[in-house]
Chain A
Amino acid sequence: MKREDLLKHIENDKTMSPEIEAQLDTELDAQSQVSNMVRSLPVEEPSLEWQSRVRQQTQVIVRKARRAALWPLRVAGVSVVGAAACAIFVANMVADRPEKISTEAMLNWHDEAVAASVLPGDSISLAGASTLPSKPAARNDLFDGGSLPSL
């Protein structure tokens, strides 16, 4: 196949048979002169300012990546500290709680408190507390709408 035909074949984007590809390889080898001209072009170096800028940005990326990697450890650490604080708090609360008191002890405590509040000479005694009249004291008619005594 002529070179021009090969060009036309490629332009039309037809499927490439092994024979066509082999011819293409031969043509590519024959283009070594122009290939060498491209290879001889000078290296384009980026400016020093660009190099410095990208280096700095690279360091920022690395720092962020390191922080992101430590995040699970930080969460775990905070969780452990928080759990420990809660455990200490609860333990202290339990320690401050008064002892369980039995019913009998509570009643005895009550009786003693009442006895302590009774004044000497008082007609009311602990033993007679249950005999106190249940009726309320007589009302003072002067204050509940009754007639005034004559003057």
Chain B
Amino acid sequence: MDVAIGAIGLLHSGAAERSIENELVRRCKERDPEAFGKLLELYQARVYGFVRRMVRSADEAEDIAQEVFVKAFQNISKFDGRASFSTWLFKIASNLCIDKARRHQRRPEPVSLSNDDGDAREVETSDLRWDPQNVAVVGEMERAIEAAIASLSEKLRGVLLLHDLEGLSYDEIATTVGVPVGTVKSRLFLARAHLQAALSAYLKPEEAI
């Protein structure tokens, strides 16, 4: 079981992951303390990584990530298995991050995405009040990517991270965020379009805006 669990770290989805997940959840419902520990070990980095990029600071990220696992384990008996456990965890995380953002009263402001003709297209993408300089990354490009992601609104950032970073499918993201699949795709497209504009210096010409 331990070797299989270790291998899951290299996978984001798949039947094997789902099977091990189900087994651990079943043992958690029987109040097996070891199973709780294994689930925590399995998902702590992914959940923390997602939350860290959704909120302002590492302290906030730790508090929220901790709350994610507390809520999940306290309510494990309510998990019905219709979605994967990871989807359920990210749903809790996403809701907590959005609640936090609302408490901070962050509001996205329209930012123009200019095309080559100079026509401005206003798209709800950025929260200019959040200073991306607070995000600690290594390397100039990584720093630029992190800053561009940080400047997105919560709606766009959440979908981008869940799909491109965490590897969730459109259906899983739709379940996590509570919107139709078409809306997931729209938000992902808008988020990537904004990143393309912000990272044009690092992109090959055919993909840069």
Binding site for B on A (CB under 8 A): 4, 6-8, 10-11, 16, 21, 24-25, 27-28, 30-35, 37-39, 41-47, 50-51, 53-55, 57-59, 61-62, 65-66, 69
In the complex, whether B93 has a CB less than 8 A from a CB of chain A is: no
**Is B160 touching A69 in the complex (CB atoms < 8 A)?**
no
Whole-angstrom CA separation of A31 from B191 in the bound complex: 10
Contact residue among A11, A61, A65 (Cβ-Cβ distance under 8 Å from B121): A11
A16 to chain B, nearest CB (A): 4
Tell me which of B31, B45, B195, B199 has the highest count of chain A C-beta atoms within 10 A of its own C-beta: B31
Within 8 A of A (CB), among B166-209: 182, 185-186, 188-190, 192-193, 195-196, 199, 202-204, 207
Contact residue among B66, B115, B192, B199 (Cβ-Cβ distance under 8 Å from A28): B192
**Which residues from chain A contact B69 at a C-beta distance below 8 Å?**
54, 57-58
Whole-angstrom CA separation of A41 from B160 in the bound complex: 13
Whole-angstrom CA separation of A127 from B46 in the bound complex: 109
* Secondary structure dominating the interface of B: helix
User: What are some 22 contacts across the A-B interface (CB < 8 A)?
Assistant: A4-B115, A7-B113, A7-B123, A10-B186, A10-B190, A11-B123, A24-B182, A28-B189, A34-B192, A34-B207, A38-B149, A39-B165, A41-B142, A41-B145, A42-B138, A46-B62, A57-B69, A58-B36, A59-B33, A61-B36, A61-B74, A62-B36
B61 to chain A, nearest CB (A): 8
**Is B185 touching A34 in the complex (CB atoms < 8 A)?**
no
Binding site for A on B (CB under 8 A): 31, 33, 36-37, 40, 44-46, 48-49, 52-53, 62, 65-66, 69-70, 73-74, 113, 115, 119, 121-124, 137-138, 141-142, 145-146, 149, 160-161, 163-165, 182, 185-186, 188-190, 192-193, 195-196, 199, 202-204, 207
**Is A39 touching B189 in the complex (CB atoms < 8 A)?**
no
Give how many A-B residue pairs fall within 8 Å (CB-CB).
Answer: 126
**Is A54 touching B40 in the complex (CB atoms < 8 A)?**
yes
